Structure 1
Amino acid sequence: MEKYRIPVEKLRRVCRDEELDFCRTTEDVPPLDGFIGQERAVRSMQFGLSINAPGYNIFVVGPPGTGKSTYVQAVVSQLAAGGPVPNDWCYIYNFADHDRPLAVSLPPGEGRVFQKDMEELISDLRVTIPKAFESGDYEEKKNSIVQSVQQKMGGYLQALEAEALEAGFDMKQTPRGFIFIPVKDGKPFSPEDYEQLPGQVRREMEEKGRKLHKKLENTFHTYRMLEKQANEQIAELEKEIALFAAGPLFDKMLEKYKKYPAIVDYLKAVLKDITNNNLEIFKNPGSAAANMPLPFSQEEVDSYFRYRVNLFINNEKSGGAPVVIEPSSNYYNLFGKIEYRSQIFSLNTDFTMIKPGAIHRANGGYLILQAQDVLSDPFAWVTLKKSLKYRQAIVENIGEQYRLVPTVSLRPEPIPLNVKVILIGSPLLYYLLYNLDEDFQKLFKVRVDFDTEMPRTPENLRQYASFVNSVCRRENLKHFSRSGLARLIEYGSRLSGRQNKLSTRFNEVFEIVYEAAAWAQAEGSGYVEASHVEKALEERNYRSRRLEEKIQELITQDKILIDVSGSVVGQVNGLYVVESGGHSFGRPAKITARTYMGRGGVINIERETRMSGSIHSKGVLTLAGYLGGKFAQDKPLGLTAQITFEQLYDGVEGDSASSAELYAILSSLADLPLKQNLAVTGSVNQFGEIQPVGGVTEKIEGFFDVCKAKGLSGDQGVIIPVQNVDDLMLRDEILDAVKKGRFHIYAIRNVEEGIELLSGVPAGKPGEDGTYPEGSVFARVDRKLREYNKGLAGSDGTGAEKDGKKNGSLDLAGPVRV
């Protein structure tokens, strides 16, 4: 056993003083400048930010806690600070199509100036235009036009009246209009006299009356035409006066904005609208519709709204290209909205109520989003893809797309989009999008991949110290002494699961820095020492290990049956890791195997009860391949072997127990007891080679805690794959136990070494005739399998073949389960 024992100095890589000879405390090193341990990610990000072409948006991939969000924000902000400030954007009224507001672009800060200029222009017009109409010249010309019409109309009426008198009628004006009354000798006919007139005379008078009425209608028609002409003349007069009053103000604006054709066209449209359609509210501002009470529409309430400017995006205070980090990535926060004003029994809106989203604010710069948040909104992801694909930012309320009956709403003009979108997400999200969304590959061509570990090199040790310095400075914490820094570095290696690596999950490292500094503060220490780091780790472990202690208690009370002494046939202690709320710990599990005559092959009880994951199932299938290759070259493998994890009810995943399962099967076939003072981890391939597994440190510590609780006997230990030796970062308590010979760690390369350690019996190597040495483990297994075959041959009377299976094949007629 001694040749397999791992020396204590290899059970943890201690950070020695000479590795940290560059400082006495973290005060002696400069603060961290940049980012550490992510060279691939840094180079990828630099490339993604440098290329300005469609589709080269960035997806930052990495597990939580690797600092990817902090890095992205820092590097993008630094780059953006030297970038050009994008233009302002304004929405203005579209006089040609009221439902489609126009978008205009202006240099940074000019949007606010344009908005103010329009406010001042309208304010000046409300003063200048009324004054122009107060002049005597206007009233004189207007009266002249009115009097001309009245004179003409008076002449027409006088002529008609004279014609009526000549025809024997008197024309009178009544509240209901003009009427014609028959007269004789200057006096109106009475009804009696009119009735006594001969019929022929009455008919002649009625005919004359009809002709007079016809002429009266023609006269009034002429009057209406004259009145219309007069109104047109007055309107033209008013237009001339308004143009005369407003012209200089608009000329000044046109001159100022002559470089912007869209604004020039807009100003001309404003002047035309004022003089042709909306002059009345400027002539009489005190009585204009702007002062109308509810429930009139917004246009009636504010007749000047169409001349306002909606300053949609204002970059006047920007110091470079914008960097927008949107923490709440729902549809409206990302893509803006059209708000509505609630009035009595109605909702109203206009172009001044168009509000921007993050994509508009980031236009010309960078938009940083969490991928999971974007994908959580059913509309955000689809709209983001459309915006990037067509390079347009559109403001549209979601409801407009899903109403059963279309309603009238605004359709703002799209704004050209030039933005670099940076999504931050997990590897799972990245691969799902890459494989399931055909647009994703075209739109996010740059992958920035963050690793969870980095090499434990002298340079990276310096960088780790600089990182601690930065944290201590920023958070005003006590600095770390050399011993405290060394213990923190060892914790970094433990987090990474490798002796020659350091973890880049800086969130977790930061938490230990903060908590260790708190313990140093509580003790009044000048610096954070190794004892304070150890205290922080112990307290954190204590806060999280309630479940671990409960399981430990059940094992100690023999409620969960785990043997740590003696020997049992077909039974071995396997090891697995439990994840519970960010806390992981190892624990042993009793793995048992029962073998008997039959053709069921290897049956995994967990698989039969649907408690086995696919990887675990693969591991058990591998065992069948090993057994067949080892013992069924000259005979069928007439075997049924049932294996299970006793008292495990949460399901099994992973193949790290496959070697333990194989040892249990071999023990059962050989009728050879296995040592229960040893626990085993490691996967196995079909050739019997032991393969490395994960969580080996936690697994060893879990079995040690059980042995300690039940009493250390001095012969207890754990068997691990030799490839996992450089992954060990065991705690001091276990190192002390190994030094004193009270606990042991063994490393093996193949099944033969493992079964020898567990049974104390040589595995056995086949001789020239293919047989194994008598008394060896494999010889006993081979003998048992031959006995099974004889029994099967006698029970079915078919000899060595059944169902067409030839001699030497692996008989798996029953289900092979894992």
Structure 2
Amino acid sequence: MNDLLVSSESLRWHCDPAQFQFSSTAELPPLEITIGQERALTAIDFGLGITDNGFNLFVLGQPGSGRSSTIKKILAAHATKRPAPADWCYVHDFESSSGPEFICLPYGTGKEFKKDLDRLVERLSEDVPKSFDSKEYQEQRKKISQSFQERKKQIFQDLEQLAADNGFAIQQVASGLVLVPLKEGSPLSQKDFEELSAKDKERLENTGNMLQEKIDEGLLEARKIDEELREKILDVAKQVLLYTIGHLFEALELKYADLQPIIDHFANCKKDILKQIEDLHSANKPQFNLPGLAPQQQGPNFDNYRVNLLIDNSELDGAPVIYEANPTYFNVFGRIEHVIQMGSAVTDFQMIKPGAMHRANGGYLILDCREVLLNLFTYEALKRSIRNKEIKLEDMAEQYRLIATASLKPQPIPLDCKIVLIGTPELYYLLYQLDPDFRKYFKVKVDFDQRMANSSANIQLFSLFIGTKCREEKLLHFDPSAVAHTIEFSARMIEDQKHLSASFSEITDLIHEASFYANRSGAGLVTAAHVDQALESRIYRANKTEEHIRALIEDGTIFIDTQGEVIGQVNGLTVYQLGDYSFGMPARVTVRTFLGKSNMINIEREVKLSGPIHDKGMLILSGFFGERYGCDKPLALSASICFEQSYGGIEGDSASSTELYALLSSLARLPIRQDIAVTGSVNQHGRVQPIGGVNQKVEGFFAVCKASGLTGSQGVIIPRANVQNLMLKAEVERAVKNGQFHIWSVQTIDEGIAILTGLAAGELQNDGTWPEGSVNDRVNRRLLQLVETAAEFGKKTAGHDTGNGKAVE
């Protein structure tokens, strides 16, 4: 047994404060790199270097591993080495008003271009109406109008003369021109007309028809003259308008001569202005307003010639790095806003708003994978953008409408952006398995580890991290002893003496808490005592349930013995996980064996209180018993195994060795020490395998023993492979060092049963027997006895009537 004892020196790893060459972390330089993530950093470097489509990054790791802060820091540094991207704007599409067109502008010119067009619109609004009010234009228009009016006047004079020569007069009424017959220079009355002979009436009618045809021809000619006059005046107006707008556009065309899309836009603007010549020509006429109504808009509207500056990168010093915390579809891909006018939703190209992908174009976009999947449409739209290399803004609500409505469909903007998704390993593997597109569009896996090697180099970097956090968060700095205790806590977090935790968020919390207690005590530096106080206070805030369960053990409500010996009863060790706090507690495991048909009854499984891993551990026991004791005989054994006073679910196989010890004890009729608790899983060969939560389990039983009084014989049996996972509290370490508590490490069930019973397990001899009096011998004899009993029982029942009139042979 002494050979299996774990020395007090092996119970925890101690970080030596003497290795630090500083008196305070204030003396240390800032940490510039990420600690212990060489694999992830290599993947990031590859992902940022390759430009092929689909090589976007998925950063996977547990929250608190530094995945988000690391990728943001690296991208920010990488972005400064790249040029700032172009500016983007939308302009009105004069051919199809529903499809605004984009213009790509050189970096930093978008703001100035928008100002130029705003000034252009202002000048157009001022100068165009004035151009038609000029004296020169009015005189020229008057001159043209007079010449055409003379022509019309001559036509009507000729018609009147023709009518007079034929005894008719032309009169103008509301409906047009009418012919009136004359008699002695006066209009012929109805009475006089009735007195005319039929021949005279016919003559008047024929003459009137002939004159009416001449009048219609004259009116047609007059209308042609009016149309010609209108065209002539419009030609003059166009010349005036071209002269007015020519110098306004000319300066801008010279300024942006190298940007053909802008030149084309100016040409479209001028064409559109000329198309509106009639409206512009009449826009400055007085408007009639009804009383009580708002005045009608005065003057032309040139807002369609403005520009919607979607993305202005003039403030950037390099490529953009955008993190969108709430990746809804509209936040990522932009939106088209509307205003309500007269009960209808109205929009135009100037109401297009950019999304995170527009702002990140030419740089990097960081999204939280979980948030992306929770937001409707975002994930599928993200994949479409990567596949098509464009940012397409759509009205996603359109597909839910019963009736399609007219809406803007902006021209898609070309996409050049490296997309980074951040998520847990579970999300990564789930998407990789279920979504074939995922592996095509996120080919770079950046895997952040939960732990790092416990090396002198990493320890020194850890101290830099503590100093950097104290400096950034304006906390009290740490002395070497406080740094050492913080690093030891990191090893305890990961439960490994050879590794340190890479979950720096929890370390950061401890730094804050230790600084708080140091500041409260008036200390100038954080010491080891302050770190320990922070850890103890953290436990006290969270261990209410632990203390309640321990109190139940102390007052005898929960049965746990820490002294004496009992057959078929072992103290197992369990771990309770309550949110951010876990603790260990002993649990009584009992076994009862009896004659049966090689059936082991797991009471927890029968009542559906155990999980599949726990059930697997139970089934392994059958394999162990069958191989060790059932090769030369049938096993006429049944066993009932139970976690006493357990009313909740049980999961895990760490109690399988405990159950096997109790089973061996029950068969061998050997009492098991109750001052020893056991943990460890077992395989079918009887080897004890490592388990998790070893520190909490040891400390949980120690606390129970301490409450009832340490006897110097109490202890815990753990798997040999778990020794390197020990990072026990100093209290337990002292007790072991003083011989008040013991920890044994075993590799096999035989080693463990020898400690628990004080009797050697015994090894199988060449003749197939076990050493007499050993545990295995006693178990084997008991199994033979059960077989013989079963055989004798079978003989007694042989020949008896089975109840159906037939004898059993």
What is the TM-score with the length of structure 1 in the denominator? 0.93
- Report Cα offsets for 1:324-382 as digits up to 9, x if no partner: 01111111111110000122211100000000000110000011111111111121111
Match of 2:105 in 1: 106
For the 8 Å contact 1:93–1:102, the answer to whether it is kept is yes
Letter in 1 for 2:775: V
CA 190–650 in structure 1, closer or farther in 2 if over 3 Å, else same: same
How many Å separate the matches in 2 of 1:395 and 1:769? 83
Match of 2:56 in 1: 57
Q: How does 1:33-432 map to 2 (within 5 A)?
A: 33-277=32-276, 280-281=279-280, 284=283, 303-432=301-430
CA 490–293 in structure 1, closer or farther in 2 if over 3 Å, else same: farther
- Report Cα offsets for 1:456-486 as digits up to 9, x if no partner: 1111111111111111211222221222122
Q: What RMSD, in angstroms, separates the aligned Cα atoms of the two structures?
A: 2.6
How many Å separate the matches in 2 of 1:91 and 1:519? 57
Q: What SS does the aligned partner of 2:764 have?
A: coil
How many Å separate the matches in 2 of 1:694 and 1:294? 80
Structure 2 residue corresponding to 1:568, chosen from 552, 566, 569: 566
- Report Cα offsets for 1:153-192 as digits up to 9, x if no partner: 2222222222222333221112332221222221222222
For the 8 Å contact 1:291–1:302, the answer to whether it is kept is no
Letter in 2 for 1:427: P
Match of 1:6 in 2: 6
Shift of 1:605: 2.7
Shift of 1:610: 2.9
How many Å separate the matches in 1 of 2:235 and 2:685? 103
Match of 1:813 in 2: none
How many Å separate the matches in 2 of 1:499 and 1:362? 43
Shift of 1:425: 1.0
Shift of 1:320: 0.5
How many Å separate the matches in 2 of 1:17 and 1:733? 20
For the 8 Å contact 1:167–1:208, the answer to whether it is kept is yes
Shift of 1:82: 2.0
Structure 2 residue corresponding to 1:536, chosen from 515, 534, 537: 534
Shift of 1:287: 6.1
How many Å separate the matches in 1 of 2:281 and 2:574? 84
Give the total of aligned pairs. Answer: 798
CA 331–290 in structure 1, closer or farther in 2 if over 3 Å, else same: farther
CA 302–150 in structure 1, closer or farther in 2 if over 3 Å, else same: closer
For the 8 Å contact 1:483–1:529, the answer to whether it is kept is yes
How many Å separate the matches in 1 of 2:142 and 2:583? 100
How many Å separate the matches in 1 of 2:609 and 2:132? 91
Q: How does 1:430-509 map to 2 (within 5 A)?
A: 430-509=428-507
Shift of 1:492: 1.3
For the 8 Å contact 1:129–1:283, the answer to whether it is kept is no
How many Å separate the matches in 2 of 1:246 and 1:265? 16
Any gaps of 5 or more consecutive residues in structure 1?
801-818
Shift of 1:532: 0.7
Shift of 1:139: 2.0
Structure 2 residue corresponding to 1:641, chosen from 639, 644, 659: 639
CA 777–351 in structure 1, closer or farther in 2 if over 3 Å, else same: same
How many Å separate the matches in 2 of 1:285 and 1:792? 117
For the 8 Å contact 1:172–1:180, the answer to whether it is kept is yes
Shift of 1:313: 0.2
Shift of 1:21: 4.2
Q: Which range moves more in the overlay, 142-151 or 501-510?
A: 142-151
Q: What SS does the aligned partner of 2:97 have?
A: coil
User: Matched residues, percent identical?
Assistant: 44
For the 8 Å contact 1:160–1:215, the answer to whether it is kept is yes
How many Å separate the matches in 2 of 1:303 and 1:293? 24
- Report Cα offsets for 1:639-686 as digits up to 9, x if no partner: 332323222233122211111121122222223222221111111111
Q: What SS does the aligned partner of 2:437 have?
A: helix
Q: How does 1:558-597 map to 2 (within 5 A)?
A: 558-597=556-595
For the 8 Å contact 1:295–1:343, the answer to whether it is kept is no
Match of 1:721 in 2: 719
CA 305–361 in structure 1, closer or farther in 2 if over 3 Å, else same: same
Any gaps of 5 or more consecutive residues in structure 2?
799-809
How many Å separate the matches in 1 of 2:625 and 2:217? 119
Letter in 1 for 2:499: K
For the 8 Å contact 1:292–1:301, the answer to whether it is kept is no
CA 799–332 in structure 1, closer or farther in 2 if over 3 Å, else same: farther
How many Å separate the matches in 2 of 1:369 and 1:504? 22
Structure 2 residue corresponding to 1:555, chosen from 543, 547, 553: 553
Letter in 2 for 1:65: G
How many Å separate the matches in 2 of 1:335 and 1:587? 53
Q: Which range moves more in the overlay, 380-389 or 710-719?
A: 710-719
Shift of 1:608: 2.9
Shift of 1:697: 0.6
Match of 1:782 in 2: 780
How many Å separate the matches in 1 of 2:112 and 2:282? 27
For the 8 Å contact 1:667–1:674, the answer to whether it is kept is yes
How many Å separate the matches in 1 of 2:617 and 2:344? 68
Q: What SS does the aligned partner of 1:438 have?
A: coil
Shift of 1:312: 0.2
CA 17–309 in structure 1, closer or farther in 2 if over 3 Å, else same: closer
Q: How does 1:656-735 map to 2 (within 5 A)?
A: 656-735=654-733
Shift of 1:279: 6.2
Q: Which range moves more in the overlay, 488-497 or 203-212?
A: 203-212
CA 69–295 in structure 1, closer or farther in 2 if over 3 Å, else same: farther
Letter in 1 for 2:207: K
How many Å separate the matches in 1 of 2:597 and 2:161? 133
Letter in 1 for 2:415: L
Q: What SS does the aligned partner of 1:324 have?
A: strand
How many Å separate the matches in 1 of 2:708 and 2:560? 10
- Report Cα offsets for 1:280-307 as digits up to 9, x if no partner: 447746869999999999x999832211
For the 8 Å contact 2:482–2:528, the answer to whether it is kept is yes
2:46 is equivalent to residue 16 of structure 1: no
How many Å separate the matches in 2 of 1:287 and 1:81? 58
Match of 1:806 in 2: none
Letter in 1 for 2:112: V
How many Å separate the matches in 1 of 2:400 and 2:794? 71
Match of 2:807 in 1: none
Shift of 1:739: 2.1
Shift of 1:529: 1.2
Letter in 2 for 1:117: D
Q: Which range moves more in the overlay, 130-139 or 583-592?
A: 130-139
Match of 1:30 in 2: 29
For the 8 Å contact 1:291–1:301, the answer to whether it is kept is no
Match of 1:512 in 2: 510
How many Å separate the matches in 2 of 1:608 and 1:234? 101
Letter in 1 for 2:14: V
For the 8 Å contact 2:40–2:447, the answer to whether it is kept is yes
Shift of 1:586: 1.1
For the 8 Å contact 1:715–1:742, the answer to whether it is kept is yes
Letter in 2 for 1:181: V
For the 8 Å contact 2:333–2:393, the answer to whether it is kept is yes
Shift of 1:578: 1.5
CA 387–71 in structure 1, closer or farther in 2 if over 3 Å, else same: same
CA 301–151 in structure 1, closer or farther in 2 if over 3 Å, else same: closer
How many Å separate the matches in 1 of 2:430 and 2:298? 53
For the 8 Å contact 1:156–1:219, the answer to whether it is kept is yes
For the 8 Å contact 2:617–2:682, the answer to whether it is kept is yes
For the 8 Å contact 2:55–2:443, the answer to whether it is kept is yes
Match of 2:738 in 1: 740
Shift of 1:718: 0.7
How many Å separate the matches in 1 of 2:288 and 2:569? 94
